[in-house]
Amino acid sequence: MNKHTRRDFLKRLGYMTGSAAALSIFPIGRIFGQTTEKKRPNIIFIMTDDHASHAMSCYGSKINKTPNLDRIANEGMRFNNSFCTNSICAPCRAVILTGKYSHINGVIDNRKKFDGSQQTFPKLLQKTGYKTAMIGKWHLKTDPTGFDYWNILPGQGAYYNPAMKEMGQKRKYTGYTTNIITDHALKWLKSLKPDEPFCLMYHHKAPHRRWEPGPKHLTMYDDVTIPEPENLFDDYSNRGRAAKEQDMSIEKTMTPNDLKLTPAPKNLTPEQKILWDSAYGPKNEAFKKANLHGKDLIRWKYQRYIKDYLRCVASVDDNVGRVLDYLDESGLTGNTVVFYTSDQGFYLGDHGWFDKRFMYEESLRMPLLVRYPKEIKAGSVSDDIVLNLDFGATFLDYAGVPIPIDMQGESFRKVLQGNTPGDWRKSMYYHYYEYPAVHSVKRHYGVRTERYKLIHFYHDIDEWELYDLKKDPKEMKNVFGDPEYDQTIKDLKVELKRLRKQYKDTTGSPV
């Protein structure tokens, strides 16, 4: 729904002002009545932490299989150009909740606290009769608001035997966190009354650093060598200082703790510790004996990292399968919109890196799969640009709830129906702030279109980068300053200025 149709919709419902304040106090649920209420779809928003789309078989992964995630793609739509607006955990979550860029919602980096008194989509859904729940990784420092039920990991949370905070009460659980979060999600789904529309935020910690696999997957991939990305040994020539001065490389940044070369985590039960030690002990012994150096050592580190990462993903895949099975068994599949995404992408050895933050493709791109049999053609694929900014508006659209004018995202329900509006966005705006900080990725903003990406590193340095994604999809050559692209740069700067104005971003240096 674009701004115009949004306004028309508000008028049809009798709102003349369209102000967010008016919307948030009006009991919209009564407008719909009982009959319509029953038809409103349920929403399950599955989000993982740092799961890159190139580790999903439905995106053509060369390194793993994700059969349950693929089910969502096969029965729904897969997005090739779903992007985040600020590639880091807490900011992305705040953008999703509010439908507003970081400079508006206040969470520009992981150090900021989320102001839970502001307008969020769960609050708007709740006011219209939706049951809302937030289960799993939250990472916003303040307690969740707008949820009938919440049970979250404090901070980053633990991979094993996690403490969780349930409606304000701390409790400890025994087991593997990916399984436990799913147990809570299923328990909540089973507690709902029939025909009660619901919205469940089901959020995994996995596969976030330090990639601790569950007992079931500790030895998965032991007998195989995972293919390396072609730019694992990138030397950052033809790039600027930002790429050269980061601190997120597999070679230099990854710690013995990341690589499981240290003793088993202290919080394991004796049974879990036996399994952990029997999995890593012999492999670590072999590593010490091999006495690796140089590229061989980097190659070993990559294998250790990527296998642990993929083991964590395998558990997510299993557990998403449990939820999809439950929806089938309970007859909910037909009337439930299921989203799968991750808070941003991740470097899987690409450019020699792990982590995220940069506007480069691997961390800018979010996986996005959506299934809703009533409206979405099975096995469809979209190249339209959608953003984490759009989720809130899309959920409200499905629920028949007016989208407040001050939400900056747009509903992509029509895109999902295979009927993309002619004026759908052709470019996206990005802004990353967390510097100086861990991983040393300098502040930058930029614009990405179908073919080009223009980035301005404006803090600490003043450097521009331009990538021609058609000729250089791996972004190995900055062509800013190449006369061939003079006009392209002029056009992209105009577009960047327009987007900064549209989204009211006056932070960072002017274009």
| Closest CB 293 distance from Ca ion, rounded Å | 32
| Closest CB 350 distance from Ca ion, rounded Å | 16
Question: Are the C-beta atoms of 446 and 456 separated by less than 8 Å?
Answer: yes
| Closest CB 45 distance from Ca ion, rounded Å | 15
Q: Which stretch binds Ca ion (CB under 5 A): 59-67, 81-89, 120-128, 283-291?
A: 81-89
| Separation between Cα atoms, residue 183 and residue 175, nearest integer Å | 11
Contacts of residue 508, Cβ cutoff 8 Å, sequence gap at least 6: 431, 443, 445, 456, 458, 459
| Closest CB 343 distance from Ca ion, rounded Å | 4
Should residue 355 be labelled a site residue for Ca ion when binding is judged by CB under 5 A? no
Q: Which is nearer to Ca ion, 48 or 120 (CB)?
A: 48
Q: Which is nearer to Ca ion, 75 or 343 (CB)?
A: 343
Q: Which is nearer to Ca ion, 203 or 304 (CB)?
A: 203
Q: Which residue number places its CB atom closest to Ca ion?
A: 89
Q: Which stretch binds Ca ion (CB under 5 A): 29-37, 38-46, 222-230, 338-346?
A: 338-346
Q: For residue 343, how far is the Cα from the chain centroid?
A: 2
Bridge-based pairing of strands 198-203 and 42-48 is parallel
458 to 437, 467, 479, 511: CA distances (angstroms) = 16, 17, 18, 9
| Closest CB 50 distance from Ca ion, rounded Å | 4
Q: Which is nearer to Ca ion, 45 or 372 (CB)?
A: 45
Q: Which is nearer to Ca ion, 100 or 356 (CB)?
A: 356
| Closest CB 282 distance from Ca ion, rounded Å | 32
Contacts of residue 510, Cβ cutoff 8 Å, sequence gap at least 6: none
| Closest CB 263 distance from Ca ion, rounded Å | 27
Q: Which stretch binds Ca ion (CB under 5 A): 177-185, 253-261, 339-347, 435-443?
A: 339-347
Q: Which stretch binds Ca ion (CB under 5 A): 291-299, 341-349, 442-450, 466-474?
A: 341-349
Q: Which is nearer to Ca ion, 50 or 384 (CB)?
A: 50
| Closest CB 295 distance from Ca ion, rounded Å | 29
Q: Which is nearer to Ca ion, 1 or 306 (CB)?
A: 306
Binding to Ca ion (CB under 5 A): which residues in 267-306? none
Q: Which stretch binds Ca ion (CB under 5 A): 273-281, 335-343, 445-453, 490-498?
A: 335-343
| Closest CB 366 distance from Ca ion, rounded Å | 10
**Could you say which DSSP state residue 266 is in?**
T
| Residue 34: both structure tokens together | 């009982």
Contacts of residue 100, Cβ cutoff 8 Å, sequence gap at least 6: 389, 406, 407, 408, 409
H or E, element range at 186: helix 177-191
Respond yes or no on whether the N-terminal peptide bond of residue 207 is cis (omega within 30° of 0): yes
Q: Which is nearer to Ca ion, 49 or 75 (CB)?
A: 49
In 10 A of CB 80, how many CB atoms? Answer: 14
| Closest CB 89 distance from Ca ion, rounded Å | 4
Q: Which stretch binds Ca ion (CB under 5 A): 76-84, 237-245, 343-351, 384-392?
A: 343-351
Bridge-based pairing of strands 198-203 and 131-137 is parallel
Q: Which is nearer to Ca ion, 90 or 499 (CB)?
A: 90
231 to 296, 342, 344, 353, 438: CA distances (angstroms) = 15, 23, 21, 10, 23
| Closest CB 207 distance from Ca ion, rounded Å | 10
Which residue matches tokens 């580190």? 301
Q: Which is nearer to Ca ion, 430 or 464 (CB)?
A: 430
Short-list 76, 81, 177, CA closest to 136: 177
3-class SS shares of the chain: helix, strand, coil, % to 5: 35, 15, 45
| Closest CB 94 distance from Ca ion, rounded Å | 12
Q: How many residues make contact with Ca ion (CB under 5 A)? A: 4
Q: Which is nearer to Ca ion, 40 or 204 (CB)?
A: 204
| DSSP secondary structure string for all residues of 318-338 | HHHHHHHHHHHHTT-GGGEEE
Q: Which is nearer to Ca ion, 49 or 384 (CB)?
A: 49
Whether the CA torsion 449, 452, 458, 459 is positive or negative: it is positive
The residue from 212, 258, 308, 343 that contacts Ca ion (CB under 5 A) is 343
The residue from 89, 94, 385, 441 that contacts Ca ion (CB under 5 A) is 89
Q: Which is nearer to Ca ion, 96 or 125 (CB)?
A: 96
| Separation between Cα atoms, residue 105 and residue 116, nearest integer Å | 10
| Closest CB 141 distance from Ca ion, rounded Å | 15
Short-list 46, 73, 98, CA closest to 203: 46
Binding to Ca ion (CB under 5 A): which residues in 109-168? none
H or E, element range at 447: strand 444-449
Contacts of residue 136, Cβ cutoff 8 Å, sequence gap at least 6: 151, 152, 153, 181, 184, 185, 201, 202, 203, 204, 205
| Separation between Cα atoms, residue 490 and residue 469, nearest integer Å | 17
What x/- string results for residues 30 through 69 when contact with Ca ion is judged by CB under 5 A? -------------------xx-------------------
Note the residues at the interface with Ca ion (CB under 5 A). 49-50, 89, 343
